[in-house]
Chains A and B, each alone.
Chain A
Amino acid sequence: MIKPRVIPCLLLQDQGLVKTVKFKAPKYLGDPINIVRIFNDKEVDELVFLDIKATNENRSPNFDLLRNIGSECFMPLGYGGGIRSMDDVRKLLGIGIEKIILNTSAVENPTLIRSAADYAGSSSVVISIDVKKNIVGKYEVHTRSGRKGTGLDPVRQAVEVEKMGAGEILINSIDRDGMMEGYDLELIRHVSEAVDIPVVACGGAGNIGHLRDAIKLGGASAAAAGSMFVFQGPLRGVLISYPSPQDLKSLLEA
């Protein structure tokens, strides 16, 4: 049996790591290299870094910083943010990023999905889909760090990107981001039922029960979280944590 993966999802802003609430109010956490070293010691399954400013600043990924992060990571690493061309994709793979995460480009330049999958294999291409409920309660895909509504339905978008060669979907609820009250299980279930590729749940995890819900009730292959792994206590003091092997084992139990 394949053990469901549990993935810290970390947000880069400038040179530092931050954590947002509903994609807003970034709170500074610390230096990414130090935090990678802590996650090395905790033997996490995988790490995801998202640069939340690259697209809106219309710039490419910070390759120098990512090279340093890649050199420190003793586990597989995914990166998203500002990836616009095959040149970006090739550079990222070359500096030790195992998974390329596309979000805005997947909507605005979807041919990049196919090119990246042809070059690196589908397993290395992850499409991240940020979702917000609109005023009448309908799910809508957002791009550009959540700023731009696209009118697209997340389930249809997931099916489309799978056809174009995506190997994994990271589904993130903007409304749940940083709330630590649990994932949007309805959204996760709809997406994971619609595609054959692995779905990673993101947005809202506050405890290990939430992670289990995403897998058991939502049908996700993996659970990603930010706040849960970087904050401690009601005052949200910064403390890096990760479930113990015993706790992770409980993910498998009904």
Chain B
Amino acid sequence: MIVIVDYGVGNLGSIVNMLKKVGVKSAASSDPDVIMHADKLILPGIGAFDSGMEKLNERGLVPLLNQLVLTDKVPVLGLCLGLQLMTKRSEEGQLAGLGWFDAETVRYKFGPEQGNLKVPHMGWNTIEIRRPHPLLSELEPESRFYFVHSFYVRCNNPQAVLAETDYGGYFHSVVGEGNIMGAQFHPEKSHKYGMRLLKNYAEKVK
């Protein structure tokens, strides 16, 4: 079963419902006993970096997640803030991130040459696949995803960049390194395209 780590950020109902719609059983839980037995994990999230890390720490989930992800190599998919928390640090906060892969979370900085684009990057946008990956299989070229974020993930290992999105320049919108994966957008708010990605995660990622 896929366990969506419920650490008190946002409504996880749409992720559970979307997985259900593609025939995948999942549960949102903060219970270590449930999380421990997950076949795969989803780390969701909205809101600020430090507040997300504090909530994970308050629930005492960090050592367990480290064990599952780093030692037992259980697949994990970070979504939006969940992805950002998996990096080493963020320009949004003071606290250390989970540091599961070699990346930082940085803020958009736009000047006049990018037409003073608005932050947050909010709305439907497309992705350009850089590296084939089971997570991104069978996604049509016109696939669009819903983004809401002011910070983005910058991977130091180019091999980890699975897809990029153009917003005043390309940023890393889907990343993956071994059992650790993440997407900057909200698949659960991205109709059939998000459904495809979640289905791929459930069925094609080993």
> A45 near B13 (CB under 8 angstroms)?
no
> B14 near A96 (CB under 8 angstroms)?
yes
Tell me the smallest distance from the CB of B14 to a CB of chain A, in Å: 5
Known: A74-B188, A74-B189, A74-B190. A121 touches B150 (CB 8 A): yes
> A74 near B13 (CB under 8 angstroms)?
no
> A70 near B46 (CB under 8 angstroms)?
no
> A94 near B120 (CB under 8 angstroms)?
no
- Docked Cα-Cα span, A241 to B157, in Å, equals 46
Contacting residues of chain A (53-85) with chain B, CB-CB under 8 angstroms: 67-68, 70-76
1/0 contact string of B182-206 vs chain A (CB within 8 Å)? 0000001111101100000000000
- Docked Cα-Cα span, A76 to B148, in Å, equals 10
Query: Which of the residues A43, A93, A95 comes within 8 Å of B192, measured between beta carbons?
Result: A43
> B191 near A40 (CB under 8 angstroms)?
yes
> A74 near B18 (CB under 8 angstroms)?
yes
Query: Which of the residues A72, A121, A122 comes within 8 Å of B17, measured between beta carbons?
Result: A72
- Docked Cα-Cα span, A98 to B188, in Å, equals 13
A123 contacts partner chain B, Cβ-Cβ < 8 Å:
yes
Interface size on A, residues (CB 8 A): 23
> A75 near B13 (CB under 8 angstroms)?
no
Known: A43-B192, A74-B191, A93-B46. A123 touches B120 (CB 8 A): yes
Known: A67-B11, A70-B13, A94-B10. A121 touches B120 (CB 8 A): yes
> A94 near B11 (CB under 8 angstroms)?
yes
- Which of A68, A76, A95: most chain B Cβ within 10 A? A76
Q: In the complex, which residue of chain A has the Cβ closest to the Cβ of B187?
A: A74
Q: Which residues of B contact A98 (CB under 8 A)?
A: 148, 189
B1 contacts partner chain A, Cβ-Cβ < 8 Å:
no
Q: Which residues of B contact A75 (CB under 8 A)?
A: 146, 189-191
Q: Which residues of B contact A68 (CB under 8 A)?
A: 13
Q: Is the interface of B mostly helix, strand, loop or mixed?
A: mixed
Known: A45-B124, A67-B11, A96-B13. A73 touches B189 (CB 8 A): yes
> B189 near A76 (CB under 8 angstroms)?
yes
Q: Which residues of B contact A3 (CB under 8 A)?
A: 124
B122 contacts partner chain A, Cβ-Cβ < 8 Å:
yes
Known: A75-B146, A76-B146, A123-B122. A70 touches B11 (CB 8 A): yes
Q: In the complex, which residue of chain B has the Cβ closest to the Cβ of A72?
A: B17
- Docked Cα-Cα span, A68 to B14, in Å, equals 9
Q: Which residues of A contact B146 (CB under 8 A)?
A: 75-76
1/0 contact string of A91-102 vs chain B (CB within 8 Å)? 001111010000
Q: Which residues of A contact B16 (CB under 8 A)?
A: 71
Query: Which of the residues B11, B14, B119, B191 comes within 8 Å of A43, measured between beta carbons?
Result: B191
**Can you pick out 27 interface pairs between chain A and chain B where the beta carbons lie within 8 Å of each other?**
A3-B124, A40-B191, A43-B191, A43-B192, A45-B124, A67-B13, A68-B13, A71-B13, A71-B16, A71-B17, A73-B14, A74-B14, A74-B190, A74-B195, A75-B190, A75-B191, A93-B10, A94-B10, A94-B11, A95-B10, A96-B10, A96-B11, A96-B13, A98-B189, A123-B122, A124-B122, A124-B148
**A interface with B by C-beta (< 8 Å):** 2-3, 40, 43, 45, 67-68, 70-76, 93-96, 98, 121-124
**B interface with A by C-beta (< 8 Å):** 9-11, 13-14, 16-18, 46, 118-120, 122-124, 146, 148, 150, 188-192, 194-195
